[in-house]
Chains A and B, each alone.
Chain A
């Protein structure tokens, strides 16, 4: 097993990368099923025309003529179809080109590859802040975005909370996961306390 600096093997790096980025399998499947249905319709119409049977909706010649130069009755339908196709196409292209990162971060670790949901990183920060401030579980909340974390602490009335101590505790705790998370921590102490 080849080892990289943080201990993850090639296979582990691969599955970690594939977990952080979203798969487009569902979008591809939906698009391909729609494509298959359209192809089925075009194919059926072609065969029906070739054997001289009556068309299902419109034979290929009529369809092409209508698409290129619709008469008055089909203008609205053509407009709608054109609009839907353009919007759908743009959505597919955007899906194809965007990186598709999910709300998770890879974390360097000695054994195995580790990824943590952003929500859990926030929970860890709230947990550390709550312990340091000595407030009940629900009084410390946190939100994380990328590598920055914001912690809000509602003190229990009568007991002052030191912002510096809370920040150090959060930085220390997140730093144990990965030093990147510990760098940008913002602490806000609510002015108004609650009764415990």
Chain B
């Protein structure tokens, strides 16, 4: 849901994995004769490598670059969440609607629905468009069809309130709270 680039994430994992396997095999080849014999047809590992003094600074700089890139990637991940649900511009004026309004409307509409435990609304910037994610926790043993009808109704009210349809993702989930919620009783 966030802005993180998932393809790049996969590529990073893949490359790091391959590197780890290769380094592991190299070290293993020095210790375990079985590994050494298995690797031998493909490459002959040198018995010893000289580390020249000149390369030390290059290694140090390369390590620093790796550290900086790794930390930048780690700390810039996520993001994309926003508190503004709608922004309309006309000339110099802009009208913004806060996510709190969307939250209030959705929660109010879903409060009386029997199988809904609670609803959570977040707004994300996806490709410079704002989209709302509505996570609806459904009671254990609840009926998704009825809940979906109620959500449809809530969305219709929301569209009327905001004046235009906002892209939404509805996620019916069984949160931890819905497991603890009491089953409803029919008298």
Contacts and interface: CB of A to CB of B under 8 A. Distances in A.
**What is the size category of the interface that chain A forms with chain B?**
35 or more
Interface size bucket, B side? 35 or more
Contact of A85 (B23, B31, B138, B167): B23
Contact of A24 (B9, B35, B133, B183): B9
Contacts of A60: 51, 56, 59
Interface stretch (A74-82, A145-153, A156-164, A186-194): A74-82
B143 A124 contact: yes
B57 A23 contact: no
B17 A36 contact: no
Contacts of A88: 17, 20, 24
A96 B11 contact: yes
Nearest to A63: B51
Interface in A6-43: 9-12, 14-16, 18-19, 21, 23-25, 27-29, 31-33, 35-36, 39-40, 42-43
B51 A61 contact: yes
Contacts, number: 262
B143 A173 contact: yes
Interface string A60-80: 110011011110000100110
Nearest to A41: B63
A65 B21 contact: no
Nearest to B134: A112
Interface of A: 1, 9-12, 14-16, 18-19, 21, 23-25, 27-29, 31-33, 35-36, 39-40, 42-43, 46-47, 49-50, 60-61, 64-65, 67-70, 75, 78-79, 81-86, 88-97, 104, 107, 109-117, 119-121, 123-124, 126-128, 130, 137-138, 173, 176-177
